[in-house]
Each structure stands twice: as C-alpha cells, then as structure tokens.
Amino acid sequence: MKKIINDPDNFVDEMIEGLLKAHPEELRTVGDDLRELVRKDAPVKDKVAIATGGGSGHLPIFLGYVGKGMLDGVVIGDVFASPSAQQMYNVTKEIDSGKGVLYLYGNYGGDCMNFDMASEMAEMDDIKVETVLVTDDVASSPKGEEEKRRGVAGLVFAYKIAGAKAAEGAELEDVAAVTRKALSNIRTMGVALSPCTIPQVGKPTFEIADDEMEIGMGIHGEPGIHRGPLKSADEIAETILAAIFEDGPYTEGDEVAVLLNGLGATPQEELYIVYRKVAEILNDKGIKIYRNLIGEYATSMEMAGMSITLLKLDEELKGLLDAPADTPFFSQANIR
C-alpha cells in the first residue's frame, strides 16, 4: 500500500480536520464530533434542510456538497462504512429550522437502516422527515427493479435539484417530489479499470488484470455485469450509453445534463476523450446537451475508471439545475 497518510486508523478524521481548516467559513461540526458536519450558517431560517451521509472514500460525495444551494448537513462513516443513527439524528436536530428535513442518500443497506432509525428518533422530537433514496446505477438491478439499485454519481444531480428547490422556500413534500421526479430521469453506469485500497485494510478491494475492465462495477467494488478485455474509449462510451438508453426515458428531441465522472485515478484528459464520443452519440440521436459536468464528483478512493450519468430535463428541472450553488467542491460556474 502506497498512500500519503499517517496512521491508517486516523485517515478519515485527519482528512476532515484538513477540510475544516481549508473551509472554515463554510463548514462546522456539531459539537466535537468530526463526523457530523453542517453548513456554517445552519439552521437556515424558513428553509427545508437536506441531510445526506455515508462512508468515507468517495470525496466529494458526500461532505463536499454541503453549502448554499445544496446540502445542509452530512454524516461520515469510516471508509465504505455507514455512520451511526445517533450521528444522523444529531445532524438532523442541528439543521432543522422548523420546516422539516429531507434525507437524501444512496441505496445501501447500512445507510438505509441507520437513516431510518434516525428518522424515528427525529419524529419523536416532532421533526418532520422525508426520505428519498438515490437508485441510479442501472448495472445493479434490472429494469423493473429500480428500487433495488445502488446510488452512485446521480447523487450529485439529486443534491443540486433538491437543494435548489429548498432554497426557493418550498415545503418538504414539494422538495421531495421534485427530487423524485429528477431521479426518475437519471441513469448512471460506470466502468472500473483497477481496484482501490482501504487504508485500514492495506490491500486492494478486488483483483483485475492490467488488460481487463469491468462494466458496471460498484463504487465499493461490487461486481459489475461484464468483465473482459480493456476496450477503447469510444467503445466504452458506446457500451455504457447503449445500456443507459435501453433502460432510461431518453428519446429524440430531449434535453439532458451529462455528468462524466472520474472514480479517483482517471486523468481529466481521458474523461474528455470519452466525453467527445458521448457528445457525438447524443447528437446523432437528436438529444441536446443542456449542461455538462466533467471531473471527479463521486469517487472510490484511487480506483481507475469512470461513469456516465444522464439527467433528462424539463423546464422545471432546468431552472433548478441553473440555480446558484456554492460548496467547497461545487460552484455553479462549473456547470457548462
């Protein structure tokens, strides 16, 4: 294992300490727990609060999107491990302004269990909570079983849409409804070229040959749908988009936002090579790209690979996508 770290057991806390020192005007902890982070100005008056959370190792997901126009609070676990229900409850109390809290996170067993427990605790304190699960990974369950799918890079679009709606002063039910609408129009699929190493474990999470790739692998190393010889960038883009088109609601005349996401160790140059082909394929299908995000938005430590996410837009979703946002890892100026 080669990593620029100190004690592996301190990996997550030292990372958060650095983040807080780098962004003291934007983030603060709840009490003394480094794993419970909120906006510096939380709770925001007369606004539905949005909370997320999950294991570390995916930066900027989850804590990178806490800020104006997006999230109000986050709870962080160890690498690829869920935080506790008590931590989630503490953040919920800290960010609630009286209009309720939206729980918005990926569909993973530990997170679901602990967020559900936190929701029950919050309701005992008369804090209204709605939950929206992100299930955008088309490789993780077949069409018709979308509720079983994992949440991956589509979280970024979900955060943006929900955050913008909440910033308008909308009620909790309306924030949840528009977020669900967006998620029904979001599909993601990725490809992995290499494993990653959890610092406390000290060895790769899986094995894959230098000349192989795995289509559909999850961000924790969950099995994909096909492992085979490494293909060209154009072939990878064609394979992923074919699966997304087969599953999703995308047709000629649509407008979409595209997220081309690096998984942690893929050079930006390679992402642009893939985006070149993505833009060509969408153009050939008569689908207009309204906005694009290209870079690292949801990673898996130092895994090499990338994912493609499409969000089909209507006028409401375009307005929310265009709304101001400013967090340590996201600025509206980054959306082209």
In the chain the beta strands, taken as DSSP E runs, fall at 27-30, 33-39, 49-56, 73-79, 101-106, 129-134, 186-192, 212-215, 226-229, 255-262, 288-295, 305-313, 326-327, 330-331
φ, ψ (nearest 5 deg) of residue 195: -85, 180
Q: Is 23 a residue of the active site?
A: no
Two tokens, residue 182: 């967006």
Pick the catalytic residue from 23, 150, 165, 220: 220
Write down the residue that tokens 């996410």 correspond to.
309
What residues are paired with 227 via a beta bridge?
214
User: Of 23, 39, 58, 68, which is the active-site residue?
Assistant: 58
Q: Is residue 131 a contact partner of residue 103, using CB atoms and an 8 Å limit?
A: yes
89 touches 118 (CB < 8 A):
yes
- Using only C-alpha atoms, the chain has a radius of gyration, in whole angstroms, of 19
Exposure string (b/e) for 119-142, b if CB count within 10 Å is 16 or more? bebbeeeebbbbebbbbbbbbbee
Count each helix (H run) and each strand (E run) in the chain, helices first. 8, 14
CA-nearest of 149, 142, 155, 153 to 307 is: 153
CA dist., res. 293 & res. 49, Å (int): 25
Is residue 226 annotated as part of the catalytic site, yes or no? Answer: no
DSSP reduced 3-state for 19: helix
Q: What residues are annotated to the active site?
A: 58, 220
